Amino acid sequence: MKLWIALSFAAVCVPTSVMGFSTQQLPRSAARWTPRSSMSLSTATEAVPFAKGPRVIRQELPTLYVYDHCPFCVRVRLALGVKNVKHLIHFLANDDVATPTKLVGKKIAPIFSLPEDKFVMAESLDIIAKIDSDERFGPTSQILPASGRKDIKSWQKSTQVLLRTLQRPRYVATGLLPEFQQLDSRHAFVRNHQLPPYEKLEWKGDSSGDTPVPGLDMDTKLKLYAEAMASDPAPLIEDLNARLVELDDMLYSEHHCSEGGFSLDDIDLWARLRSITIVRGVTWPTRLRRYMDNLSTLGDVPLYDEMAL
């Protein structure tokens, strides 16, 4: 396959929302996952869907600067969505250095801008803490703190290489993600994001030290991305399917992954798992799939299923 075919697909409008017309979550009292009898002596804790508050519409809308594929950005989009805060999304091109640098002094996403306060901030978790503690954005402390559980974190760590291998070439090859609409932006991503087994230093090189590391040339990087798309993903997907079964066992419920309710655990986990939906042919365990769909609806953040490759 010619490199430019794999890496410069035309943008075609494909709907990406899975449940685009659903706007309401059931109120907490009406949507219990496990009905509770007032006579029940059971001490089992229920899984409780997040109770979404009324729509928050500031006169000057906040703007969130993101890359669509970026899980840190998705964290904030999910938080704004569950808190029902209307906002503008500015999808940065992946090679746009000027816009984020003007806002926060470097190329980074997400960036949250609140024009009514002339306030700008980076760092996903700081942004979420700000939004969830400011009464102008509805009830505060709606998102529970992180539980500190280790099992999900170690699952994430142990699947990092597998997920990078599958996801990174697909982000670029769809030609549909807003940050990759032009060839320069696709090339910027390929230039900066290594494919396993390469480490970041081997891929990018480093000329700052006494012993410069050359890194790979751009043609080689493009070839490796194209080869990754041309190769049969079946063995990797089989591996991923097994890992998802393990993760399914760790989920507390289809509404929140840890006991107690919707928390920063979900903000982090769901944001990362969303990227997997760009991989076609994955078999999702039932509960995990419901979790993906429930939080997509709750947070009004679409999954990639319709454009999966």
Ligand X SMILES: N[C@@H](CCC(=O)N[C@@H](CS)C(=O)NCC(=O)O)C(=O)O
Given the rule CB under 6 A, which residues bind ligand X?
67, 70, 72, 107-110, 123-125
Nearer to ligand X, 53 or 71 (CB): 71
To the nearest whole angstrom, how small is the minimum distance from the Cβ of residue 35 to ligand X?
38
> Nearest approach, Cβ of 180 to ligand X (angstroms)?
12
Beta carbon of residue 270, minimum distance to ligand X (angstroms, whole number): 15
Q: Which is nearer to ligand X, 104 or 237 (CB)?
A: 104
- Of 110 and 302, nearer to ligand X (C-beta) is 110
Question: From the CB of 73, what's the least distance to ligand X, in Å?
Answer: 7
Nearer of residues 181 and 241 to ligand X, judged by Cβ:
181
Residue closer to ligand X, measured from CB, 109 or 222? 109
Q: Min. distance of Cβ 75 from ligand X in angstroms?
A: 7
Residue 126 Cβ vs ligand X, minimum distance, rounded to whole Å: 8
Nearer to ligand X, 205 or 260 (CB): 205
DSSP string across the chain: --HHHHH-PPP------SSTT---PPPGGG--SS---TT----PPPP--------B--SS--EEEE-TT-HHHHHHHHHHHHTTB--EEEE--TT--HHHHHHHSSS-S-EEEEGGGTEEEE-HHHHHHHHTT-GGGSSSS-SBPP---SHHHHHHHHTHHHHHHHHHHHHHHTS-SGGGSSHHHHHHHHHHSPPTTS-HHHHH-B-SSSS-B----HHHHHHHHHHHHHS--HHHHHHHHHHHHHHHHH-S-SS-SSTTSSBHHHHHHHHHHHGGGGSTT----HHHHHHHHHHHHHHT---SGGG--
